[in-house]
Amino acid sequence: MASKVSPAIALKVARARWVSEHIIPCEQRMRAWLKRWGVKREDSDEIIQDAYCRIATLETVAHIDDPRAYFFSIIRNLTIRRLRRERVVELQTIAEIDACHDVHQSSPERQAADRQDYQRLLALIRALPPKCRQVVELRKLEGWSQREIAQHFGISEKTVEKQIWLGLKAVRLGWSNGGQTDNEDVLRTARN
């Protein structure tokens, strides 16, 4: 005897599946973005939770063409509201976040150029010496704190700071040389 599922439950199950497929995979990226803007972890948790609540209260998600951009937009708007409520906040910070738009609002040409630049940047990072590359990736791509990286590798925060500085110096030099990853000057900069 097969039991019938009520339409309300079927809708909830479908929404949960949609969130798990389209929104949850974006959460770490959004947390990293919040961290880069100096949002505390507790506040970040609240903003993410509020964003999930807003999605849960939607009657339908059929109008959402790009779930990642939609989720980003909710988080950006919640962050701006939170900053505006704070007593002391630099106007420049709100203006910068307010001006922040997702890549999907760019022209196709801009998106293609951005992807090429990103690949060029990744190639420069991959050309760094192994330890330096790992530290730079964790800090700049994954959003880890210097303390977390130091604990992970069992090294001092000063060493992490130095590796980040050397890595970024080498990446900047490589970028200014047209993205050449085989340039000995770039590698020597990261080793010194």
Looking at the structure, do residues 135 and 57 belong to the same domain, yes or no?
Answer: no
Would residue 1 count as lying in a domain? no
Looking at the structure, do residues 34 and 83 belong to the same domain, yes or no?
Answer: yes
Query: Average pLDDT of 122-132?
Result: 90
Give residue 144's domain range: 108-191
Of 89, 105, 121, the one marking the end of a domain is 105
Query: Average pLDDT of 170-191?
Result: 66
Would residue 2 count as lying in a domain? no
> The domain that contains 149 carries what CATH number?
1.10.10.10
Query: Average pLDDT of 115-120?
Result: 80
The pLDDT, as a whole number, for residue 7 is 79
121: its two tokens: 């940047």
Average pLDDT, the chain: 79
As for how many domains the chain has, the answer is: 2
Of 105, 128, 159, the one marking the end of a domain is 105
Is the pLDDT at 150 greater than 50? The verdict is yes
The pLDDT, as a whole number, for residue 119 is 83
Residue for token pair 């990446």: 171
Query: Average pLDDT of 117-137?
Result: 88
Burial of 75 (0-12, 13-18, 19+ CB in 10 A): buried
Is the pLDDT at 139 greater than 80? The verdict is yes
Low-confidence winner among 71-85, 99-113, 119-133, 153-167 (lowest mean pLDDT)? 99-113
Is the pLDDT at 2 greater than 60? The verdict is no
Query: Which tens digits make up the pLDDT trace of 44-80?
Result: 999 999 999 888 888 888 888 888 889 998 998 888 8
54: its two tokens: 């807003």
The pLDDT, as a whole number, for residue 155 is 94
The pLDDT, as a whole number, for residue 8 is 75
Looking at the structure, do residues 46 and 81 belong to the same domain, yes or no?
Answer: yes
Looking at the structure, do residues 142 and 187 belong to the same domain, yes or no?
Answer: yes
Cα distance between residue 34 and residue 36, in whole Å = 5
Is the pLDDT at 146 greater than 80? The verdict is yes
Look at the alpha carbons of 103, 104, 106, 111 in this order and tell me if their dihedral is positive or negative: positive
